[in-house]
Chain A
Amino acid sequence: MAETVWAAYDLPLQVRTGSEPVDAPPTLAESDDLILLQNEAWFCTLRWLVIAALCALALAGWATTAAFPLPGIRLDPLWPPAVAAVLLFLNLTYLAMIRKATRSARRSVLAERGLWLQIGLDLAVLTVVVHFLGSLDTFAPFMYLFHIVLACIFLPYAQSLLVTLLAMGMYLICLILEGTGAVAPQSVLIGAMCGERAVSLTVAAWQFGSVAFVSATVWYLASRLSRALRQRDAELSAINRRLVAATEERAGHMLQTTHQLKAPFAAIHANTQLLLGGHCGALPAPAVAVIEQIATRCEMLSRGIKSMLQLANLRSQAQHPPAPVAVDLAALIQSCLAALKPQAAKRGIEFEEQLSPAPVQVVPDHAAMIIDNILSNAINYSRDGQRISVSSRAKADGGAAVVVRDRGIGIPPDKLPRIFDDYFRTTEAVKHNRASTGLGLAIVRQSALSGAIGVRVESAAGQGTVFFLDFPRSPDHLETTN
Chain B
Amino acid sequence: MAYLLIVDDDLDFASAVSTVLSNKGYEIAIETDCAQALDRIRRQRPDAVILDVMFPENDKAGFEIARAIRREFGELPVLLLTAVNQSFPLGFSNKDLDPTWLPAVEFVEKPVDFAVLTAKISSILAAAKG
A-side residues, CB < 8 A to B, are 252, 255-256, 259-260, 262-267, 269-271, 273-274, 277, 279-280, 298-299, 302, 306, 309-310, 313, 316, 318-322, 363-366
Contact = CB atoms under 8 A, between A and B. Distances in A.
B27 to A, nearest CB: 16
A306 B111 CA distance: 10
Nearest to A310: B88
A265 B9 CA distance: 14
Q: Secondary structure of the B side of the interface? A: loop
26 contacts: A252-B91, A255-B90, A256-B59, A260-B54, A262-B83, A262-B110, A262-B111, A265-B111, A266-B110, A267-B10, A267-B16, A270-B16, A270-B114, A271-B16, A273-B16, A273-B113, A274-B16, A279-B19, A298-B111, A306-B83, A309-B90, A313-B87, A319-B93, A322-B86, A365-B87, A365-B88
A352 to B, nearest CB: 28
A280 B19 contact: yes
B112 to A, nearest CB: 6
A304 to B, nearest CB: 12
B13 interface: yes
Given A263-B110, A273-B16, A309-B88, 11 more contacts: A260-B54, A262-B110, A263-B10, A270-B111, A277-B114, A279-B19, A280-B19, A302-B111, A318-B91, A321-B87, A322-B87
B85 interface: yes
Given A266-B112, A270-B112, A365 B85 contact: yes
A263 B16 CA distance: 13
A466 B90 CA distance: 33
A310 B59 CA distance: 18
A269 B110 CA distance: 9
Interface in B114-130: 114
A255 B91 contact: yes
A299 B111 contact: yes
Contact of B10 (A252, A266, A313, A363): A266
Interface string B79-111: 000010111111101100000000000000011
A271 B111 contact: no
Given A267-B16, A273-B20, A299-B111, A320 B94 contact: yes
B41 to A, nearest CB: 23
A266 B94 contact: no
Given A279-B19, A279-B23, A309 B12 contact: no
Q: Secondary structure of the A side of the interface? A: helix
A271 B12 contact: yes
Contact of B54 (A259, A298, A316): A259
A222 B3 CA distance: 81
B91 A319 contact: yes
B65 interface: no
Interface string B31-65: 00000000000000000000000100001000000
Contacts of A363: 87
Nearest to B22: A279
Contacts of A298: 111
A265 B110 CA distance: 9
A267 B13 contact: yes
B94 A322 contact: yes
B80 to A, nearest CB: 14
A259 B88 contact: no
Of B10, B17, B23, B91, the most chain A CB neighbours within 10 A belong to B91
Contacts of A318: 91
Contacts of A321: 87
A277 B19 CA distance: 11
B4 to A, nearest CB: 16
Nearest to A299: B111
A252 B111 CA distance: 22
Contacts of A299: 111
A309 B83 contact: yes
A125 to B, nearest CB: 55
Contacts of B83: 259, 262, 306, 309
Contacts of B23: 279
Contacts of A265: 111
Nearest to A450: B87
